[in-house]
Amino acid sequence: MKALNELSIAEARERLDQGAVSSVALTEACLGQIQSLDGALHAFLEVWPDEALQEAKRSDERRSRGLRLGEFDGIPLAVKDNMLVQGRHCSAGSKILENYVATNDATVVAKLKTQGAVFLGRTNMDEFAMGSSTENSAYGPTKHPRDPARVPGGSSGGSAVAVAANMCLGALGSDTGGSIRQPASLCGIVGLKPTYGRVSRSGLIAMASSFDQIGPLAKSVEDAARLFEAIQGADVLDQTTANVEAFQASGAVVRRQGLEGVRVGMPRQAWGKGMTDEVRTRVRAAVDVLTSLGAEVVDVDLPYADEALAVYYVLMPCEVSANLARFDGMRYGVRAQASTLLETYLQSRASGLGREVRRRILLGTYALSRGYYDAYYRQAKRVQTLIQNAYASAFEHVDVLVSPTSPSTAFKLGEKTSDPLAMYLEDLFTVGANVAGLPAVSVPCGDASGLPVGLHLTGRMFDEATLLGVARAYEGARG
């Protein structure tokens, strides 16, 4: 029988509604797991036990009176350290923001609070979400839940480990180039990046504003769908959000048995070099499962897919350079004591920002500088349009695209920190969805040498229903 902290959100919801379990008991089970494991794994930067138990108690009292605020009333969740929670520290994994206390809730946090969710604490992350291993956190790395000598992926590694290690029932992460899906793959859970504009970014500390998107990390596709349904929607505080028909989780999980009539595309560009043999074997086996469910699997051409990684690593640093200019010790961030204004800027940023963050600021500033803007930024924007058009053409013929999520399983701590290019290649299969603004999900598809492998599905813009329907059908068939 499952321990309470091992329950899925759907299972916990059912038991709460039946009166078979209390929110206090669920929360205590998660807090106990955090106390037991987090010293070794470092998934959390801060835990809020007293407040979580108080909120859980209020949830139980509501249900005793026949009241329920929403689907997440009494459900223990975790939140990545770049989303504001009013009255709580929010550092984005950086020393320069170690003293910052949020004055308001991020829209996604406010929506879940309105539904009665219980927030357990804030999770570790690569500094300002820049990384693929959660080794770039200013507060130390997060460790893989199965093998603490390995990385959990990044930048939402803390949230992924918190879910995978049953420290919470679900969590929020942010995805700029794969930062939800890649750690989900490495940790063996489900991670969804919604269509750009589906979820408000208000209250998210920005990395690259035209790529960032908040999404769920969960134990099942159904749980991810429920979390997504709760946080979606247009927001007057974020003008990039889209006013489109609302997603309904119940509609996304109807394809439990078959996939007849669904066309699955295998991009030729995603099945060449770049992945280990074990990953290739597991993902091809997953494609065979889709075929057995009735899906028609076809090869598709995706021109310029090979350029997506290069486009991302030109445009993203440019936006990083602009977004992080404010963190200078004067306007925002910890201020160094220096004799001149220039020295204050230099010392504040040198001591407050990590090596990878400084690297990306420099790269972006260079690409935006006079004489290089046309050669780098403008050219990358042109190729981005070609990539978006290529995806649009592919989706005229197929319903979803399939590939691995990550080219390898979890690698050793420190294995790639000295080689930025090797680390950037971890985003090989995920950045395309960000460059094109499309929804994508990673679903566990087996183990390779005892470590999880992820199946990556990309869908049409604003068609999370089909995407998650296919993912749920695969999950159900695999068992």
329 close to 349: Cβ distance less than 8 angstroms = yes
65 burial via Cβ count (<10 Å: 0-12, 13-18, 19+): exposed
| Residue 15 amino acid letter | R
Query: Does 219 participate in catalysis according to the annotation?
Result: no
Query: Does 273 participate in catalysis according to the annotation?
Result: no
**Residue 42: both structure tokens together:** 């470092």
Considering the candidates 179, 202, 348, 406, report the single residue annotated as catalytic: 179
Considering the candidates 22, 23, 80, 174, report the single residue annotated as catalytic: 80
Helix/strand/coil (H/E/C) assignment for every residue in 420-435? HHHHHHHHCCCHHHHH
Q: Which residues pair with 121 in a beta bridge?
A: 47
β-bridge pairing 296-300 and 76-80: unpaired
β-bridge pairing 440-448 and 451-459: antiparallel
Query: Does 155 participate in catalysis according to the annotation?
Result: yes
Half-sphere exposure of 43 (CA within 13 A, CB side): 34
Q: Which residues pair with 266 in a beta bridge?
A: 299
Considering the candidates 59, 155, 156, 403, report the single residue annotated as catalytic: 155
Q: Which residues pair with 444 in a beta bridge?
A: 454
Q: Please count the residues of the chain.
A: 479
| Residue of 282, 290, 283, 284 lying closest to 263 (CA atoms) | 290
70 close to 111: Cβ distance less than 8 angstroms = no
* Residues labelled catalytic: 80, 155, 179
